[in-house]
Each structure stands twice: as C-alpha cells, then as structure tokens.
Amino acid sequence: MSEDDRPDATPTDEDRAVEAFERLGLTGYEARVFIALHRLGVGTAREVSEVTDVPRSQVYSAAESLADRGLAGVQQSSPMQYRPIGVEAARSTLRTRFDRESTRAFDYVDRVRETADEQREDIWTVRGRAAVTDRVLELLAEAQRRVLFGARLPELAPEEVVTALEAAADDGVRTTVVSRSPSVRERFGEPIDVADTPPTVDGDDRSGRILLVDDDVVLLSVTGAVDDDDDGDAGETAIWSAHSNMATVLIRLTEVGLGVDGTG
C-alpha cells in the first residue's frame, strides 16, 4: 500500500501524525492501526494491514492494546473486526489519562519541595518560554523598591506577568515598562510608567525580555528556536542573576543602554 518505500523519504502527513501519537504514549503500530481504523470506519486485521504499513500478524495485538486503552472496540468473531472510538472521545480519554498522571507526579513533588535560600555569585540559564516566565514571576515577587520590565513582543508579557507588575506597583514599587511594541505598552496603565525603547538598543530583533529588580536582580532573554525537542513556541533562552555582584554590574550596563536611571 505504500507508494514510497525509500528508507528516508520525506515524512508524510501520516508519519507526522504517528509521531505525535507516539509522543502521547502510543506505539507506532498502535498509532497506525488507530488511524487506519478511522480511515476504514470498521475493519478486519487484514483490511487494516492493507491500508497501512503494519504486518497483519501485528494488527491483532496492536488493536487489542487500543481496546485496552479504550480507543477501539472489538468484535469477537471470525474474522475479528475492530472499530475506532470517536475522535473527540479518544482525545478526551488521552487527556484524562494525562491529567491523572500529571496529578500523581506533581502532587508528590509538591510535598517534598524546598525553596532555595539565596545565594552566590551566580548566572543561571533557563530555556523555554514557560520556564522564563516562571523565573520572571519569582524574581518579581522579591521587588522592594523598583522594577523595570521590557518585552519586545506581546507574547513575552503574558497576563500573569502583567498582573505581577501591577501588584508590585500597587505595593509602592516604582515600576517601569519599556517596549518598542505599542501593543505591549498599552496593556499597562495607571501606576506603571510606560516608555518606548530607545532605538540605540533595539536593533537586534532577537532580543526578548529584560527585567531589573531593585539593584541586584537582573534577567535577560533572547528569542530564536534553539531546536530543542520540538517546542515550536518555546524558543526563548534567558540568563538571570540575583543578589550578586554580577547582577549589579549587568544592571549598570543595561541601564546605560536603556537610558534609565535606577538610583533615587
């Protein structure tokens, strides 16, 4: 059934779908049989093996495994027949399973977790949009006197960050937001100072976020796919430092470039 048996041909849409299913926890055979069953509506092992690249003898176990996962139905007859569960039901079955495992895993982590007591002359690296946002929020929580936050793109100033910045401003922290992008600037109001980024430092379109907190906390991020696994949207890498001489030095440098004065 495959018009293309070359070992390294361009991956088809089906190949990509199979890979996605594999990352959801299915085996390659299970994924192909599931897809084939949806193609057929109903089918025997033979029919399945004719519309996809799974040997007939392996269809039985793969389909049985799908049935165990609640993703397919079986008819005990000769020949046996299989039919897939509906797409939405299958999606929700997998999602339920994901949520269950997620709870099991993170509940335990929650119980044993310790918060780090700071700290030394450190520069930390963090990869991934969500991870960077997480770090921004934790650093913002320490703010006592002033905060400067910059984001080139709106996606880099998500709702949680906006909220945290507003909370800081409400607590009497002198809060400034800089961005070249108007759509970022207009998300902040009232107690927050908003400013355009000076053209001098805005040249590189790979810059991401900047965060200065008080006099000794700094975070800088850049965007651009680092070709992780396959995190299309997470191409952000940040460095940060807190309560260190290194942080202080970085802050001075950054302030000069931005034309901001942190003293006062």
Partner DNA sequence: TCATTGTTGTTATGCGCCTACTAACAGCCG
Partner DNA sequence: CGGCTGTTAGTAGGCGCATAACAACAATGA
Scan residues 46-65 and list those touching DNA (CB under 7 A).
Answer: 46, 53-58, 60-61
By a kind-dependent CB cut-off of 5 to 8 A, residue 68 interacts, out of a copy of itself, DNA, none, with a copy of itself
User: By C-beta, is 139 or 258 nearer to a copy of itself?
Assistant: 139
By a kind-dependent CB cut-off of 5 to 8 A, residue 200 interacts, out of a copy of itself, DNA, none, with none
Q: Is 27 in the site for DNA (CB under 7 A)?
A: yes
By a kind-dependent CB cut-off of 5 to 8 A, residue 74 interacts, out of DNA, a copy of itself, none, with a copy of itself
User: By C-beta, is 176 or 244 nearer to a copy of itself?
Assistant: 244
Q: Is 263 in the site for DNA (CB under 7 A)?
A: no
User: By C-beta, is 98 or 249 nearer to a copy of itself?
Assistant: 98
Give the 3-state secondary structure of the chain: CCCCCCCCCCCCHHHHHHHHHHHCCCCHHHHHHHHHHHHHCCECHHHHHHHCCCCHHHHHHHHHHHHHCCCEEEECCCCCEEEECCHHHHHHHHHHHHHHHHHHHHHHHHHHCCCCCCCCCCCEEEECHHHHHHHHHHHHCCCCCEEEEEECCHHHCCHHHHHHHHHHHHCCCEEEEECCCHHHHCCCCCCEEEECCCHHHCCCCCEEEEEEECCCEEEEEEECCCCCCCCCCCCEEEEEEECCHHHHHHHHHHHHHHCCCCCC
The region of 78-86, 106-114, 140-148, 199-207 touching DNA under the rule CB under 7 A is 78-86
Q: Is 73 in the site for DNA (CB under 7 A)?
A: no
CB of 65 to DNA, least distance (A): 9
CB of 115 to a copy of itself, least distance (A): 6
